[in-house]
Amino acid sequence: MSSMNGNGGPKKMGEIIVITSGKGGVGKTTTTASLGAALSLKGKRTLVVDADIGLRNLDVILGLENRIVYNLVDVAKNICKPSQAIIKSKKSNNLFLLPASQTDDKDVVTEQEVKSVLDQYRREFHYILVDSPAGIEQGFRNACSGADSAVIVTTPEVSAIRDADRVIGLLTAKSIEPRLVINRIDYDMVRKGDMLSVKDVQDILGIETIGVIERDDAIIVAANNGEPVVYNQKSKAGQSFSDIAGRICGEIIPLSSEPPRGIWEKISRRLGV
């Protein structure tokens, strides 16, 4: 794993993880923000990078849109120093944001430029999470440059799964190891047979699953408030994101199985039946 360097020594600083999906709207930005927040809560210095040049969103989700002065493109073109472009988050001392430019588009930087930008931050942070744009073109390629591993986000829908499959193929061709997050699962629908189950998705994609996030209204509320859902103690989704952060750090947290339905199931679960 990329958390160990060649001679089996301790984890080197700055593991770069790209969060991508292929399909748009499945929850990449939400996942990046929430994972960043969760990692920072665990005491890891984390930088989240918005690589969606021209359509930036990560700043809004984190509530930092009013504090942007410099962005990723400025660092790439040496207009400013790397330390000038990053913004500390409101709630945590460990979480920083490198925003994207809103006025340019994705062809303004090359893969090599992005890689060198990220390399400048590696020494300063435990984790660098790169929020990739949707698609498989230049924006995606820029985001993947320099990545050590990847997190693929998908929803349990056939269209998202097919796009995720494509992206997995592209990532393995770049020797970037992908891991899976299944977002917006609704266990009631799965039970009724209206939605693909976690097993179905795993069966098709065939990569390691590091998290399953249930559909949760709290996420929408959190996004509008500019606070990642992880800070909401009562949200199940927030809890799931924390679990994923733990797994990224190397903790062994088993994937939670389907929640029990109804009082009798709950009791029999308790009794270990």
User: Which chain residues interact with another protein by CB under 8 A?
Assistant: 156, 158, 162-163, 165-166, 168-170, 172, 190, 193-197, 199-200, 203-204, 206
In the bound complex, what is the minimum distance in angstroms from residue 252's beta carbon to another protein? 25
Cβ nearer to another protein, comparing 108 with 204? 204
Distance between CA atoms of 131 and 125, rounded to whole angstroms? 16
In the bound complex, what is the minimum distance in angstroms from residue 203's beta carbon to another protein? 6
In the bound complex, what is the minimum distance in angstroms from residue 26's beta carbon to another protein? 15
| Residues 89/231, Cβ–Cβ less than 8 Å | no
Distance between CA atoms of 147 and 171, rounded to whole angstroms? 10
- HSE on the CB side for 244, CA within 13 Å? 31
CB-CB neighbours of 4 under 10 Å:
12
Cβ nearer to another protein, comparing 63 with 156? 156
Cβ nearer to another protein, comparing 199 with 270? 199
Distance between CA atoms of 62 and 231, rounded to whole angstroms? 11
Report the DSSP beta bridge partners of residue 154.
182
Cβ nearer to another protein, comparing 203 with 265? 203
DSSP string across 189-203? HHHHTSS--HHHHHH
Cβ nearer to another protein, comparing 178 with 238? 178
In the bound complex, what is the minimum distance in angstroms from residue 199's beta carbon to another protein? 5
In the bound complex, what is the minimum distance in angstroms from residue 255's beta carbon to another protein? 16
Q: Looking at this protein, which amino acid is placed at residue 123? A: R
In the bound complex, what is the minimum distance in angstroms from residue 182's beta carbon to another protein? 13
Sign of CA dihedral 26, 177, 76, 63: positive
Cβ nearer to another protein, comparing 133 with 228? 133
Reduced to 3 states (helix: H, G, I; strand: E, B; else coil), residue 9 is coil
Alpha helices in 147-186 (DSSP H): 158-173
